Structure 1
Amino acid sequence: MKRTFAITAIAASLLALSPAAAPQADESVQKPLGVVELFTSQGCNSCPPADLALAKFAARDDVVALGYHVDYWDYLGWQDTLGSDANTRRQYEYAEGLNRRGVYTPQAVINGRSHTNGGHYREISEMMARDKDRGLGLTVGLKFEDMGDRMRVSAEGAPTGGDKIHLVLVYFVRQADVAIDRGENAGKTISYVNAVTDYQTIGMWEGEAMTVDIPRSELAAKNADGCAVLLQKTTKGGRPGAIIGAAILPRQSS
Protein backbone atom coordinates (compact mmCIF):
# COMPACT_ATOMS: atom_id res chain seq x y z
CA MET A 1 0.00 0.00 0.00
CA LYS A 2 3.02 2.28 -0.16
CA ARG A 3 2.16 5.32 -2.28
CA THR A 4 5.23 5.62 -4.49
CA PHE A 5 5.42 6.85 -8.07
CA ALA A 6 8.25 6.28 -10.50
CA ILE A 7 10.25 9.35 -11.31
CA THR A 8 9.66 8.64 -15.00
CA ALA A 9 5.99 9.47 -14.55
CA ILE A 10 6.89 13.13 -14.16
CA ALA A 11 9.98 12.94 -16.35
CA ALA A 12 7.61 12.80 -19.31
CA SER A 13 6.48 16.27 -18.22
CA LEU A 14 10.04 17.65 -18.34
CA LEU A 15 11.08 16.96 -14.75
CA ALA A 16 14.85 17.31 -14.38
CA LEU A 17 16.77 15.68 -11.55
CA SER A 18 20.45 16.51 -11.40
CA PRO A 19 23.38 17.04 -9.02
CA ALA A 20 23.97 20.65 -8.11
CA ALA A 21 26.10 22.79 -5.89
CA ALA A 22 24.70 23.08 -2.39
CA PRO A 23 22.43 26.11 -1.94
CA GLN A 24 24.20 29.11 -0.45
CA ALA A 25 23.26 30.12 3.08
CA ASP A 26 20.63 32.78 2.47
CA GLU A 27 17.06 33.54 3.45
CA SER A 28 15.62 31.38 0.67
CA VAL A 29 17.16 28.19 2.09
CA GLN A 30 14.54 26.75 4.40
CA LYS A 31 15.19 24.87 7.62
CA PRO A 32 11.78 25.18 9.28
CA LEU A 33 11.22 24.40 12.92
CA GLY A 34 9.11 21.44 11.87
CA VAL A 35 6.39 19.80 9.79
CA VAL A 36 2.83 19.39 11.08
CA GLU A 37 0.64 16.92 9.19
CA LEU A 38 -2.95 17.07 10.40
CA PHE A 39 -5.33 14.20 9.69
CA THR A 40 -8.81 15.67 9.86
CA SER A 41 -12.34 15.28 8.53
CA GLN A 42 -15.29 17.55 7.81
CA GLY A 43 -17.46 14.85 9.38
CA CYS A 44 -15.66 14.94 12.75
CA ASN A 45 -17.10 17.34 15.34
CA SER A 46 -13.87 17.39 17.36
CA CYS A 47 -11.80 18.48 14.35
CA PRO A 48 -12.63 22.22 13.97
CA PRO A 49 -10.27 23.29 16.80
CA ALA A 50 -7.48 21.33 15.11
CA ASP A 51 -8.31 22.93 11.76
CA LEU A 52 -7.94 26.33 13.43
CA ALA A 53 -4.62 25.26 14.96
CA LEU A 54 -3.37 24.16 11.54
CA ALA A 55 -4.30 27.58 10.13
CA LYS A 56 -2.16 29.18 12.84
CA PHE A 57 0.76 26.94 11.94
CA ALA A 58 0.30 27.64 8.23
CA ALA A 59 0.56 31.38 8.94
CA ARG A 60 3.99 30.90 10.51
CA ASP A 61 7.20 31.19 8.49
CA ASP A 62 8.93 28.44 10.45
CA VAL A 63 6.42 25.59 10.01
CA VAL A 64 5.32 23.50 7.04
CA ALA A 65 1.65 22.74 7.79
CA LEU A 66 -0.35 20.23 5.74
CA GLY A 67 -3.95 19.07 6.12
CA TYR A 68 -4.86 15.52 5.06
CA HIS A 69 -8.63 14.99 4.92
CA VAL A 70 -9.53 11.35 5.48
CA ASP A 71 -12.63 9.54 4.22
CA TYR A 72 -13.46 7.01 6.94
CA TRP A 73 -16.02 9.31 8.62
CA ASP A 74 -18.04 9.78 5.43
CA TYR A 75 -20.55 7.14 6.57
CA LEU A 76 -21.82 9.53 9.25
CA GLY A 77 -23.77 11.44 6.60
CA TRP A 78 -21.35 13.91 5.03
CA GLN A 79 -18.78 13.08 2.36
CA ASP A 80 -15.68 15.17 3.00
CA THR A 81 -15.26 17.35 -0.09
CA LEU A 82 -11.47 17.35 0.41
CA GLY A 83 -11.09 13.77 1.58
CA SER A 84 -9.41 10.91 -0.24
CA ASP A 85 -8.49 7.28 0.24
CA ALA A 86 -4.86 8.22 -0.42
CA ASN A 87 -4.86 10.53 2.61
CA THR A 88 -6.40 7.77 4.72
CA ARG A 89 -3.71 5.35 3.54
CA ARG A 90 -0.97 7.76 4.57
CA GLN A 91 -2.43 7.97 8.07
CA TYR A 92 -2.61 4.18 8.37
CA GLU A 93 0.98 3.90 7.14
CA TYR A 94 2.05 6.36 9.83
CA ALA A 95 0.16 4.29 12.40
CA GLU A 96 2.16 1.22 11.41
CA GLY A 97 5.45 3.16 11.48
CA LEU A 98 4.59 4.63 14.90
CA ASN A 99 3.54 1.18 16.20
CA ARG A 100 -0.07 2.23 16.74
CA ARG A 101 -2.98 -0.18 16.46
CA GLY A 102 -5.37 2.35 14.93
CA VAL A 103 -5.97 5.89 13.72
CA TYR A 104 -8.01 8.82 14.99
CA THR A 105 -9.00 12.39 14.17
CA PRO A 106 -7.84 14.98 14.71
CA GLN A 107 -4.31 13.56 14.71
CA ALA A 108 -1.23 15.69 14.17
CA VAL A 109 1.96 13.91 13.14
CA ILE A 110 5.03 16.00 13.96
CA ASN A 111 8.15 15.62 11.82
CA GLY A 112 7.01 12.08 10.99
CA ARG A 113 8.27 11.08 14.46
CA SER A 114 5.47 11.54 16.96
CA HIS A 115 1.79 12.44 17.22
CA THR A 116 -0.80 14.12 19.39
CA ASN A 117 -4.27 15.66 19.23
CA GLY A 118 -4.21 18.18 16.39
CA GLY A 119 -5.99 20.80 18.46
CA HIS A 120 -3.15 21.06 20.99
CA TYR A 121 -1.35 24.01 19.40
CA ARG A 122 1.00 24.73 22.30
CA GLU A 123 1.94 21.07 22.79
CA ILE A 124 2.70 20.65 19.08
CA SER A 125 4.88 23.78 19.13
CA GLU A 126 6.77 22.41 22.14
CA MET A 127 7.23 19.02 20.45
CA MET A 128 8.82 20.68 17.41
CA ALA A 129 11.09 22.75 19.65
CA ARG A 130 12.19 19.64 21.57
CA ASP A 131 12.98 17.83 18.32
CA LYS A 132 15.16 20.73 17.25
CA ASP A 133 16.96 20.89 20.61
CA ARG A 134 17.72 17.16 20.41
CA GLY A 135 19.00 17.36 16.85
CA LEU A 136 15.95 15.44 15.61
CA GLY A 137 14.34 18.25 13.66
CA LEU A 138 14.78 19.41 10.09
CA THR A 139 18.53 19.36 9.58
CA VAL A 140 18.80 19.43 5.77
CA GLY A 141 18.31 22.79 4.07
CA LEU A 142 15.95 22.99 1.08
CA LYS A 143 15.16 25.79 -1.31
CA PHE A 144 11.84 25.96 -3.17
CA GLU A 145 11.64 28.57 -5.93
CA ASP A 146 8.92 29.71 -8.31
CA MET A 147 10.59 29.83 -11.74
CA GLY A 148 7.49 30.81 -13.70
CA ASP A 149 6.81 27.75 -15.84
CA ARG A 150 8.42 25.44 -13.30
CA MET A 151 9.07 24.96 -9.61
CA ARG A 152 12.67 24.36 -8.55
CA VAL A 153 13.67 22.35 -5.47
CA SER A 154 17.30 22.46 -4.33
CA ALA A 155 18.67 20.32 -1.51
CA GLU A 156 21.89 20.72 0.41
CA GLY A 157 24.31 17.86 0.68
CA ALA A 158 24.38 16.10 4.05
CA PRO A 159 25.17 12.65 5.50
CA THR A 160 22.31 10.17 5.29
CA GLY A 161 23.59 7.68 7.86
CA GLY A 162 22.73 4.93 5.43
CA ASP A 163 18.99 5.61 5.66
CA LYS A 164 16.67 5.37 2.68
CA ILE A 165 15.28 8.85 2.14
CA HIS A 166 12.46 9.71 -0.24
CA LEU A 167 11.90 13.04 -1.97
CA VAL A 168 8.17 13.55 -1.55
CA LEU A 169 6.03 16.22 -3.22
CA VAL A 170 2.79 17.18 -1.48
CA TYR A 171 0.20 19.14 -3.47
CA PHE A 172 -2.47 21.17 -1.68
CA VAL A 173 -5.20 23.80 -1.92
CA ARG A 174 -4.14 26.83 0.08
CA GLN A 175 -7.66 27.69 1.27
CA ALA A 176 -11.10 26.15 0.88
CA ASP A 177 -14.26 27.43 2.59
CA VAL A 178 -16.75 24.60 2.92
CA ALA A 179 -20.42 24.84 3.95
CA ILE A 180 -21.27 21.52 5.63
CA ASP A 181 -24.92 20.48 5.27
CA ARG A 182 -25.01 17.13 7.06
CA GLY A 183 -23.19 15.08 9.64
CA GLU A 184 -21.68 16.12 12.96
CA ASN A 185 -20.70 19.60 11.72
CA ALA A 186 -23.99 20.33 9.93
CA GLY A 187 -24.71 24.04 9.57
CA LYS A 188 -21.08 25.13 9.90
CA THR A 189 -18.93 26.80 7.27
CA ILE A 190 -15.30 25.94 7.96
CA SER A 191 -12.20 27.39 6.33
CA TYR A 192 -9.52 24.80 5.62
CA VAL A 193 -5.89 25.57 4.79
CA ASN A 194 -3.24 23.62 2.88
CA ALA A 195 -5.67 20.77 2.17
CA VAL A 196 -3.71 18.00 0.48
CA THR A 197 -4.99 16.88 -2.92
CA ASP A 198 -2.19 14.43 -3.77
CA TYR A 199 1.33 13.40 -2.85
CA GLN A 200 4.00 11.38 -4.59
CA THR A 201 7.51 10.13 -4.12
CA ILE A 202 9.54 11.30 -7.12
CA GLY A 203 12.91 9.85 -6.24
CA MET A 204 15.51 8.96 -3.64
CA TRP A 205 17.86 11.42 -1.99
CA GLU A 206 21.38 10.00 -1.66
CA GLY A 207 22.81 12.78 0.47
CA GLU A 208 24.29 14.78 -2.39
CA ALA A 209 23.30 18.33 -3.22
CA MET A 210 20.78 18.26 -6.04
CA THR A 211 18.18 20.24 -7.94
CA VAL A 212 14.76 19.09 -9.17
CA ASP A 213 12.61 21.03 -11.63
CA ILE A 214 8.86 20.31 -11.60
CA PRO A 215 6.56 21.73 -14.30
CA ARG A 216 4.13 24.26 -12.82
CA SER A 217 1.43 22.51 -14.85
CA GLU A 218 1.65 19.70 -12.28
CA LEU A 219 -0.25 21.94 -9.83
CA ALA A 220 -3.28 22.14 -12.12
CA ALA A 221 -3.03 18.41 -12.82
CA LYS A 222 -3.24 17.76 -9.07
CA ASN A 223 -6.12 20.27 -8.54
CA ALA A 224 -3.75 22.28 -6.36
CA ASP A 225 -2.39 25.80 -6.02
CA GLY A 226 0.43 25.01 -3.60
CA CYS A 227 3.15 22.45 -3.11
CA ALA A 228 5.55 21.33 -0.39
CA VAL A 229 8.57 19.05 -0.55
CA LEU A 230 9.67 16.63 2.16
CA LEU A 231 12.86 14.66 2.64
CA GLN A 232 11.48 11.66 4.50
CA LYS A 233 13.11 8.54 5.85
CA THR A 234 11.32 5.22 5.50
CA THR A 235 10.89 2.63 8.22
CA LYS A 236 12.07 -0.97 7.87
CA GLY A 237 8.62 -1.84 6.56
CA GLY A 238 8.77 0.92 3.97
CA ARG A 239 6.36 3.18 5.83
CA PRO A 240 6.84 6.98 6.10
CA GLY A 241 9.23 7.87 8.90
CA ALA A 242 11.18 10.85 10.19
CA ILE A 243 11.21 14.01 8.09
CA ILE A 244 14.67 15.63 7.95
CA GLY A 245 14.04 18.43 5.47
CA ALA A 246 11.03 20.40 4.21
CA ALA A 247 10.13 23.49 2.25
CA ILE A 248 6.98 25.04 0.89
CA LEU A 249 6.49 26.85 -2.41
CA PRO A 250 6.11 30.59 -1.85
CA ARG A 251 2.89 32.19 -3.00
CA GLN A 252 3.02 33.67 -6.49
CA SER A 253 3.35 37.43 -6.45
CA SER A 254 0.21 39.07 -7.78
Structure 2
Amino acid sequence: MTRKSMATMKSTFAALAQAFIVTTIVWLPSTAGAGEFVTPSGVVELFTSQGCRSCPPADRAFEKVVKQGNVVALSYHVDYWNYLGWADTLARPENTERQYAYAKAFGRSGVYTPQAIINGVEHIKGTDTAEINGRIRSLKDEGHGLRVPVNATRKDDQLSISIGAGAGKADVVVVYFRQHQTVELEKGENAGQTLDYWHSVTDIQTVGMWRGEPINLALPAKVMGSDKSDGCAILLQSVDDEGNPTAIIGAAMMMKKRAIR
Protein backbone atom coordinates (compact mmCIF):
# COMPACT_ATOMS: atom_id res chain seq x y z
CA MET A 1 0.00 0.00 0.00
CA THR A 2 1.39 3.37 -1.01
CA ARG A 3 1.69 6.33 1.33
CA LYS A 4 -0.92 8.14 -0.80
CA SER A 5 -3.44 5.30 -0.54
CA MET A 6 -2.92 5.08 3.23
CA ALA A 7 -3.65 8.78 3.53
CA THR A 8 -6.79 8.38 1.43
CA MET A 9 -7.98 5.51 3.65
CA LYS A 10 -7.40 7.52 6.84
CA SER A 11 -9.37 10.41 5.38
CA THR A 12 -12.25 8.08 4.49
CA PHE A 13 -12.36 6.54 7.98
CA ALA A 14 -12.31 10.01 9.55
CA ALA A 15 -15.24 11.09 7.39
CA LEU A 16 -17.20 7.97 8.33
CA ALA A 17 -16.50 8.48 12.01
CA GLN A 18 -17.66 12.09 11.75
CA ALA A 19 -20.87 10.94 10.07
CA PHE A 20 -21.74 8.75 13.03
CA ILE A 21 -21.42 11.52 15.61
CA VAL A 22 -24.92 12.46 16.74
CA THR A 23 -26.33 14.85 19.28
CA THR A 24 -28.82 13.40 21.72
CA ILE A 25 -31.21 15.39 23.87
CA VAL A 26 -31.74 14.11 27.40
CA TRP A 27 -34.24 15.76 29.73
CA LEU A 28 -33.14 15.51 33.35
CA PRO A 29 -34.20 17.01 36.67
CA SER A 30 -31.37 19.42 37.44
CA THR A 31 -30.96 18.23 41.03
CA ALA A 32 -31.37 14.49 40.51
CA GLY A 33 -29.98 11.53 38.66
CA ALA A 34 -32.06 9.16 36.58
CA GLY A 35 -35.04 7.88 38.56
CA GLU A 36 -34.11 9.93 41.63
CA PHE A 37 -35.96 12.92 43.06
CA VAL A 38 -34.12 15.39 45.26
CA THR A 39 -35.76 18.38 46.94
CA PRO A 40 -33.81 21.57 46.10
CA SER A 41 -32.35 23.45 49.05
CA GLY A 42 -34.01 26.69 47.95
CA VAL A 43 -34.98 29.07 45.15
CA VAL A 44 -32.85 32.05 44.09
CA GLU A 45 -34.30 34.64 41.71
CA LEU A 46 -31.73 37.17 40.53
CA PHE A 47 -32.95 40.44 39.01
CA THR A 48 -30.14 41.79 36.86
CA SER A 49 -29.34 43.90 33.80
CA GLN A 50 -26.60 44.04 31.19
CA GLY A 51 -26.77 47.82 31.53
CA CYS A 52 -26.10 47.86 35.27
CA ARG A 53 -22.48 48.44 36.30
CA SER A 54 -23.01 46.67 39.63
CA CYS A 55 -24.50 43.52 38.11
CA PRO A 56 -21.55 41.50 36.68
CA PRO A 57 -20.31 40.43 40.16
CA ALA A 58 -23.83 39.22 40.97
CA ASP A 59 -24.05 37.40 37.64
CA ARG A 60 -20.79 35.58 38.45
CA ALA A 61 -21.98 34.71 41.96
CA PHE A 62 -25.23 33.46 40.44
CA GLU A 63 -23.30 31.24 38.01
CA LYS A 64 -21.65 29.54 41.00
CA VAL A 65 -25.07 28.96 42.56
CA VAL A 66 -26.32 27.44 39.30
CA LYS A 67 -23.34 25.09 39.07
CA GLN A 68 -23.87 23.83 42.62
CA GLY A 69 -26.83 21.91 41.21
CA ASN A 70 -28.86 21.93 44.44
CA VAL A 71 -30.73 25.23 44.01
CA VAL A 72 -33.50 26.30 41.65
CA ALA A 73 -31.78 29.38 40.22
CA LEU A 74 -33.49 31.83 37.84
CA SER A 75 -32.15 35.05 36.32
CA TYR A 76 -34.62 37.78 35.37
CA HIS A 77 -33.19 40.49 33.11
CA VAL A 78 -35.06 43.77 33.58
CA ASP A 79 -35.47 46.61 31.09
CA TYR A 80 -35.45 49.80 33.15
CA TRP A 81 -31.70 50.42 32.66
CA ASN A 82 -31.94 50.31 28.85
CA TYR A 83 -31.90 54.12 28.67
CA LEU A 84 -28.24 54.15 29.75
CA GLY A 85 -27.11 53.31 26.23
CA TRP A 86 -27.42 49.53 25.94
CA ALA A 87 -30.70 47.64 25.57
CA ASP A 88 -30.37 44.38 27.49
CA THR A 89 -30.68 41.59 24.91
CA LEU A 90 -32.30 39.25 27.45
CA ALA A 91 -34.65 41.73 29.15
CA ARG A 92 -38.42 41.29 29.23
CA PRO A 93 -41.07 43.72 30.55
CA GLU A 94 -42.65 40.76 32.38
CA ASN A 95 -39.44 40.32 34.39
CA THR A 96 -39.60 43.95 35.47
CA GLU A 97 -43.27 43.51 36.40
CA ARG A 98 -42.39 40.50 38.56
CA GLN A 99 -39.72 42.47 40.41
CA TYR A 100 -42.12 45.35 41.09
CA ALA A 101 -44.72 42.85 42.31
CA TYR A 102 -42.16 41.51 44.79
CA ALA A 103 -41.44 45.09 45.90
CA LYS A 104 -45.13 45.59 46.67
CA ALA A 105 -45.22 42.33 48.63
CA PHE A 106 -42.16 43.49 50.63
CA GLY A 107 -43.69 46.93 51.24
CA ARG A 108 -40.95 48.67 49.25
CA SER A 109 -41.47 51.75 47.11
CA GLY A 110 -38.88 50.86 44.48
CA VAL A 111 -36.58 48.22 42.99
CA TYR A 112 -32.84 47.84 42.45
CA THR A 113 -30.27 45.69 40.68
CA PRO A 114 -28.69 43.37 41.38
CA GLN A 115 -31.34 41.92 43.67
CA ALA A 116 -31.53 38.28 44.71
CA ILE A 117 -34.82 37.08 46.18
CA ILE A 118 -34.58 33.93 48.26
CA ASN A 119 -37.59 31.59 48.47
CA GLY A 120 -39.84 34.54 47.66
CA VAL A 121 -39.56 35.92 51.20
CA GLU A 122 -36.24 37.78 51.49
CA HIS A 123 -34.09 39.97 49.27
CA ILE A 124 -30.35 40.65 49.34
CA LYS A 125 -27.86 42.29 46.95
CA GLY A 126 -26.81 38.87 45.63
CA THR A 127 -23.13 39.49 44.90
CA ASP A 128 -21.81 36.95 47.42
CA THR A 129 -22.37 33.22 46.82
CA ALA A 130 -21.62 32.36 50.45
CA GLU A 131 -24.21 34.88 51.66
CA ILE A 132 -26.82 33.48 49.28
CA ASN A 133 -26.22 29.94 50.49
CA GLY A 134 -26.20 31.12 54.10
CA ARG A 135 -29.59 32.77 53.72
CA ILE A 136 -31.02 29.64 52.09
CA ARG A 137 -29.91 27.60 55.12
CA SER A 138 -31.19 30.19 57.59
CA LEU A 139 -34.60 30.43 55.94
CA LYS A 140 -34.94 26.65 56.08
CA ASP A 141 -34.08 26.67 59.80
CA GLU A 142 -36.63 29.46 60.34
CA GLY A 143 -39.42 27.47 58.69
CA HIS A 144 -39.32 29.28 55.33
CA GLY A 145 -37.81 26.47 53.28
CA LEU A 146 -39.27 24.28 50.56
CA ARG A 147 -41.66 21.97 52.42
CA VAL A 148 -44.00 20.64 49.71
CA PRO A 149 -42.59 18.00 47.32
CA VAL A 150 -42.68 18.97 43.65
CA ASN A 151 -41.48 16.70 40.86
CA ALA A 152 -41.35 17.16 37.10
CA THR A 153 -40.63 14.69 34.32
CA ARG A 154 -40.78 14.86 30.56
CA LYS A 155 -41.78 12.08 28.19
CA ASP A 156 -42.14 12.72 24.48
CA ASP A 157 -44.31 15.82 24.06
CA GLN A 158 -45.64 16.01 27.63
CA LEU A 159 -44.34 17.67 30.77
CA SER A 160 -45.76 15.99 33.88
CA ILE A 161 -45.84 17.86 37.19
CA SER A 162 -46.56 16.11 40.47
CA ILE A 163 -47.17 18.07 43.69
CA GLY A 164 -47.54 16.46 47.10
CA ALA A 165 -49.71 17.30 50.09
CA GLY A 166 -49.23 20.15 52.52
CA ALA A 167 -50.86 23.08 54.25
CA GLY A 168 -52.17 26.22 52.56
CA LYS A 169 -52.72 27.13 48.93
CA ALA A 170 -50.45 28.37 46.16
CA ASP A 171 -50.16 29.01 42.44
CA VAL A 172 -48.34 26.54 40.22
CA VAL A 173 -45.95 28.69 38.19
CA VAL A 174 -43.80 27.45 35.31
CA VAL A 175 -40.75 29.58 34.51
CA TYR A 176 -38.97 28.85 31.22
CA PHE A 177 -35.32 29.77 30.73
CA ARG A 178 -32.20 29.44 28.59
CA GLN A 179 -29.44 27.51 30.31
CA HIS A 180 -26.45 29.53 29.09
CA GLN A 181 -25.74 32.48 26.81
CA THR A 182 -22.63 34.58 26.14
CA VAL A 183 -23.20 38.22 25.23
CA GLU A 184 -20.77 40.87 23.98
CA LEU A 185 -21.78 44.23 25.38
CA GLU A 186 -21.00 46.97 22.87
CA LYS A 187 -22.36 50.03 24.68
CA GLY A 188 -23.52 51.21 28.07
CA GLU A 189 -21.89 50.99 31.49
CA ASN A 190 -20.42 47.53 30.79
CA ALA A 191 -19.25 48.29 27.24
CA GLY A 192 -16.43 46.09 25.99
CA GLN A 193 -17.18 43.17 28.31
CA THR A 194 -18.18 39.70 27.22
CA LEU A 195 -20.37 38.17 29.92
CA ASP A 196 -21.91 34.76 30.55
CA TYR A 197 -25.53 34.56 31.61
CA TRP A 198 -27.16 31.47 33.12
CA HIS A 199 -30.81 30.44 33.42
CA SER A 200 -32.11 33.64 31.83
CA VAL A 201 -35.91 33.65 32.03
CA THR A 202 -37.81 33.70 28.74
CA ASP A 203 -41.41 33.19 29.89
CA ILE A 204 -43.52 32.84 33.03
CA GLN A 205 -46.87 31.02 33.10
CA THR A 206 -49.29 30.28 35.93
CA VAL A 207 -50.72 26.88 35.03
CA GLY A 208 -52.85 25.92 38.03
CA MET A 209 -53.62 26.21 41.71
CA TRP A 210 -52.72 23.91 44.59
CA ARG A 211 -54.96 23.79 47.68
CA GLY A 212 -53.06 21.41 49.93
CA GLU A 213 -54.06 18.15 48.25
CA PRO A 214 -51.76 16.16 45.94
CA ILE A 215 -52.26 17.07 42.29
CA ASN A 216 -50.86 16.04 38.91
CA LEU A 217 -50.68 18.34 35.91
CA ALA A 218 -49.80 17.59 32.29
CA LEU A 219 -48.50 20.32 29.98
CA PRO A 220 -47.27 20.36 26.39
CA ALA A 221 -43.48 20.25 26.46
CA LYS A 222 -42.90 21.83 23.06
CA VAL A 223 -41.90 25.19 24.58
CA MET A 224 -38.87 23.57 26.17
CA GLY A 225 -37.82 22.04 22.89
CA SER A 226 -37.57 25.36 21.06
CA ASP A 227 -34.51 27.53 20.54
CA LYS A 228 -36.03 30.05 22.93
CA SER A 229 -36.02 27.86 26.05
CA ASP A 230 -34.17 24.72 27.05
CA GLY A 231 -35.21 24.40 30.68
CA CYS A 232 -38.00 25.20 33.09
CA ALA A 233 -38.63 25.56 36.80
CA ILE A 234 -41.85 24.73 38.57
CA LEU A 235 -42.57 27.01 41.51
CA LEU A 236 -45.29 26.42 44.07
CA GLN A 237 -45.76 30.03 45.12
CA SER A 238 -48.13 31.77 47.50
CA VAL A 239 -49.53 35.24 46.74
CA ASP A 240 -50.70 38.06 48.97
CA ASP A 241 -54.21 39.57 49.00
CA GLU A 242 -53.33 41.73 45.97
CA GLY A 243 -51.94 38.82 43.98
CA ASN A 244 -48.27 39.70 44.44
CA PRO A 245 -45.80 36.78 44.68
CA THR A 246 -44.67 35.76 48.15
CA ALA A 247 -43.34 32.55 49.73
CA ILE A 248 -42.21 29.71 47.49
CA ILE A 249 -43.01 26.49 49.34
CA GLY A 250 -42.02 23.93 46.73
CA ALA A 251 -39.95 23.81 43.54
CA ALA A 252 -38.39 21.60 40.90
CA MET A 253 -36.43 22.14 37.70
CA MET A 254 -36.00 20.40 34.36
CA MET A 255 -33.18 21.03 31.89
CA LYS A 256 -32.22 19.82 28.45
CA LYS A 257 -28.79 18.22 28.49
CA ARG A 258 -26.91 17.79 25.23
CA ALA A 259 -24.62 14.79 24.92
CA ILE A 260 -22.29 13.83 22.06
CA ARG A 261 -21.68 10.20 21.28
Per the normalisation by structure 2, the TM-score is 0.83
Q: Does 1:62 align with 2:70?
A: yes
The answer to whether residue 207 in structure 2 is matched with residue 199 in structure 1 is no
Distance 2:90 2:258 in 1: 26
Residue 151 of structure 1: aligned partner: 159
Equivalent-residue separation in structure 2 for 1:28 and 1:177 (angstroms)? 31
Separation of aligned partners in 1, 2:44 and 2:248: 10
Amino acid at match of 1:93: A
Equivalence map 1:136-215=2 (5 Å): 136-160=144-168, 164-215=169-220
* Number of residues of Structure 1 aligned to a counterpart in Structure 2: 226
The residue that corresponds to 1:118 in the other structure is: 126
Is 2:42 the partner of 1:34? yes
Alpha-carbon shift at residue 31 of structure 1 (Å): 1.9
Q: Assess if the C-alpha contact under 8 Å between 1:156 and 1:209 holds in 2.
A: yes
Q: Map 1:8-23 onto structure 2 (within 5 A).
A: none
Once the 2 structures are TM-superposed, how far is the Cα of residue 253 of structure 1 from its aligned partner?
A: 5.7
- Deviations 1:56-92 (CA, angstroms, capped at 9, x unpaired): 1111222000000000000000000000110000000
Query: What is the rounded CA distance, in whole Å, between the counterparts of 2:254 and 2:99 in structure 1?
Result: 23
2:224 counterpart of 1:219: yes
| Equivalent position to 1:234, from 231, 235, 239 | 239
State the one-letter code of the partner of 1:215. Answer: P
What SS does the aligned partner of 2:134 have? helix
Q: SS state of the match for residue 103, structure 1?
A: coil
Matches within 5 A, 1:78-93: 78-93=86-101
Point out the structure with the larger helix share: 2
What's the offset of the Cα at 1:99? 0.9
- Structure 1 unaligned segments of length 5 or more: list them: 1-25
2:256 partner SS: coil
Q: Counterparts of 2:118 and 2:35 in 1: how far apart (Å)?
A: 24
SS at match of 1:251: strand
State the 1:120 CA deviation.
2.1
Displacement of 1:95 after TM fit? 0.3
What runs of 5+ residues in structure 2 fail to find an aligned partner? 1-33
Q: Residue 57 of structure 1 contacts residue 65 of structure 1 at CA under 8 Å; is this kept in 2?
A: yes
User: Structure 1 residue 209: deviation in Å?
Assistant: 1.2
Report the CA distance between 1:143 and its aligned residue.
Answer: 1.1
* Identity in percent: 47
- Which has more radius of gyration? 2
Contact 1:145 1:250 in 2 (8 A): no
Range 66-75 or range 217-226, more displaced:
217-226
Give 1:101 deviation, angstroms: 1.2
Moved more, 189-198 or 220-229: 220-229
Contact residue 144 and residue 250 of structure 1 kept, 8 A: no
